[in-house]
């Protein structure tokens, strides 16, 4: 899921940037570490556990700075969040070569995630089996629904017992206040920020908590903040990401054409009758269930450049003699799931009755077969999550700010639907939507047109005319790979 503001750099800002020292300065309050990943400078910053009650002590944020390559002409710092919630953002990508030259890029692990202060829900490794049973799936029968509800109730009960005081301070409102502490620690009068997916919601929250401190904020793959925070039904239903799935799937199938000699609906029909065993390119045989197939197809559709892998996967399901791409290996990042889930449930209104998800999932399934319930059930743990954060922010969302740049894909984004970006352009007080004519999740690194606008926005504050549409550099089956680092 996941989980999202801007000012033209004035003449005074540009002049100050021109006077930047030849080497990146050491911000006060940042404790720098002796070792770090190649090319980065690592450190940490202490922030209040609670901004409402400073007596509760401190939490720690892990950060890493990617220094500008042209320090003599540096314009400042861009802060970065990759989404989630729950994703580590410490080691930020280059963004674009031009931005890497003129800006330090600072990533951080939000509280609850990665190397920052985090929660621990489990005291016994055996308890992880309950979490793993409930992850990334959705029930097809009432009996399976009862089991999934029981599993998620067990997980949330364990978190309430073991997570400690940090669990009460993980909302995006609190994380946005952390982001403002980072801005101040790096000596930036205004925030420059790039956030993707959930990172757009973080940016939207920051812009409305600190409208006067908004510098240039680019929000890529936009979440509708009003639907994220409030409204009837599960938050994962309100956001309606699944509604873009048929559009993205159609875009893929149209591009696939003769490469896809199979019937998509027939594949799903076969999977509802039972698992299909495929042989992966590494020789491993894997039993693919209906739910695991939907999860993998969903993942492939989040990047149009994954079209060849999706075509091969569907062909293997239709004809088990065809090899399937190797499935992702490795256990899930439990800390990220717990920290991100705590943020999600702290932010959003959700039904308190876990059985309510069944009907919403059924409605969603009629809109987007398989993708609907897969998406809706992601927030089931929020039904029994009793921990709250007094720092939660729920609006309003239209505080006057400098211009905000929104980026979205109009052919289908299964995580953050295009309609949500269109609503957000009107919901925020001063936003401009730049559209990429493809499907998938996120626009940066997929189009020279998009990246050129990003470069101009961060360096001069320029935003495109309303209705501007960019073309991708490559089609879904072009041989060249995306330049995105994440």
Q: Where are the strands (E) in 84-145, listed by range? A: 103-109
Longest Cα separation, the chain:
67
Q: Consecutive sets of 10 residues in the chain, 486 residues long: mean pLDDT of each?
A: 31 30 58 96 97 95 98 98 96 97 98 94 87 87 97 95 96 98 97 98 99 98 98 97 97 93 96 97 96 97 96 96 87 82 96 98 98 97 96 98 98 97 98 98 97 98 97 88 42
- Please report the pLDDT score of residue 25 as a whole number: 57
Separation CA 458–CA 463 (nearest Å): 10
- Please report the pLDDT score of residue 328 as a whole number: 78
Residue 114 and residue 90 in contact, taking contact as beta carbons nearer than 8 Å: yes
**172-185 helix and 198-209 helix, angle to the nearest 10 degrees:** 70
Work out the number of other CB atoms within 10 angstroms of the CB of residue 295.
Answer: 19
How does pLDDT run across 58-103, given as a tens digit for each residue? 999 999 999 999 999 999 999 999 999 999 999 999 999 999 999 9
Give the DSSP per-residue string, 245-299. HHHHHHHHHHHHGGG--S-HHHHHHHHHHS-EEEEBTTS-EEEE-HHHHHHHHHH
Residue 175 CA from chain centroid, whole number: 14
Q: Where are the strands (E) in 25-174, listed by range? A: 31-32, 41-48, 58-66, 76-81, 103-109
Separation CA 452–CA 381 (nearest Å): 41
How does pLDDT run across 219-268, given as a tens digit for each residue? 999 999 999 999 999 999 999 999 999 999 999 999 999 889 999 999 99
What's the predicted TM-score (pTM) here?
0.92
Separation CA 271–CA 288 (nearest Å): 8
* Look-up of token digits 């939907």: 294
Residues in CB range of 454: below 8 A, 6 or more apart: 95, 96, 99, 194, 218, 405, 444
The structure tokens listed for 57 are 């002590």
CATH 3.40.50.1820 for the 11-118+171-232+395-470 domain, yes or no: yes
- The 3-state DSSP class for residue 189 equals coil
Helices (H), 67-197: 97-102, 128-134, 142-162, 172-185
**Phi and psi torsions of 97, nearest 5°:** -60, -40
């Amino acid at each position: 899921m996941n989980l999202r503001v801007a000012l033209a750099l004035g003449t005074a800002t540009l002049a100050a940037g021109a006077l930047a020292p030849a080497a990146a300065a050491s911000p006060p309050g940042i404790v720098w570490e002796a070792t770090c990943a190649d090319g980065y400078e690592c450190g940490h910053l202490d922030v209040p556990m609670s901004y409402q009650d400073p007596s509760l002590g401190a939490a720690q944020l892990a950060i890493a700075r990617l220094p500008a390559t042209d320090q003599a002409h540096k314009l400042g710092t861009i802060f970065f969040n990759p989404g989630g919630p729950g994703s580590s953002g410490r080691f930020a990508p280059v963004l674009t070569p031009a931005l890497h030259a003129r800006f330090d890029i600072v990533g951080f692990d939000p509280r609850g995630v990665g190397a920052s202060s985090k929660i621990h829900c489990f005291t016994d490794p055996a308890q992880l089996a309950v979490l793993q049973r409930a992850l990334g799936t959705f029930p097809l029968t009432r009996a399976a629904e009862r089991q999934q509800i029981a599993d998620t109730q067990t997980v949330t009960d364990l978190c309430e017992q073991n997570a400690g005081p940090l669990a009460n301070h993980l909302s995006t409102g609190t994380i946005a206040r952390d982001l403002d502490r980072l801005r101040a620690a790096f000596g930036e009068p205004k925030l420059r920020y790039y956030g993707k997916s959930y990172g757009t919601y973080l940016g939207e929250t920051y812009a409305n908590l600190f409208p006067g401190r908004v510098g240039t904020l680019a929000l890529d793959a936009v979440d509708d903040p009003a639907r994220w925070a409030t409204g009837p039904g599960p938050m994962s239903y309100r956001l309606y990401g699944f509604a873009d799935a048929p559009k993205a799937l159609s875009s893929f199938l149209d591009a696939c054409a003769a490469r896809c000699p199979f019937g998509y609906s027939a594949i799903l029909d076969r999977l509802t009758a039972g698992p299909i065993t495929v042989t992966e390119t590494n020789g491993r045989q894997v039993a693919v269930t209906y739910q695991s197939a939907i999860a993998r197809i969903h993942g492939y559709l989040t990047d149009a450049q994954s079209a060849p892998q999706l075509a091969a996967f569907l062909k293997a399901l239709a004809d088990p003699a065809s090899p399937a791409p190797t499935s992702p290996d490795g256990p899930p990042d439990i800390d990220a799931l717990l920290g991100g889930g705590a943020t999600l449930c702290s932010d959003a209104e959700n039904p308190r009755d876990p059985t309510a998800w069944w009907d919403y999932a059924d409605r969603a399934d009629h809109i987007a077969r398989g993708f609907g319930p897969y998406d809706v059930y992601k927030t089931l743990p929020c039904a029994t999550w009793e921990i709250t954060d007094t720092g939660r922010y729920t609006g309003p969302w239209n505080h006057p700010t400098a211009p905000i740049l929104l980026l979205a894909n109009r052919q289908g984004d299964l995580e953050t639907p295009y309609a949500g970006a269109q609503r957000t352009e009107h919901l925020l007080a001063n936003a401009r939507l730049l559209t990429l004519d493809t499907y998938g999740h996120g626009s940066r690194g997929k189009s020279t047109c998009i990246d050129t606008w990003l470069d101009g926005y961060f360096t001069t504050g320029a935003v495109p005319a309303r209705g501007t549409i960019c073309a991708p550099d490559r089609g879904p089956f072009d041989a060249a790979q995306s330049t995105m680092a994440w």
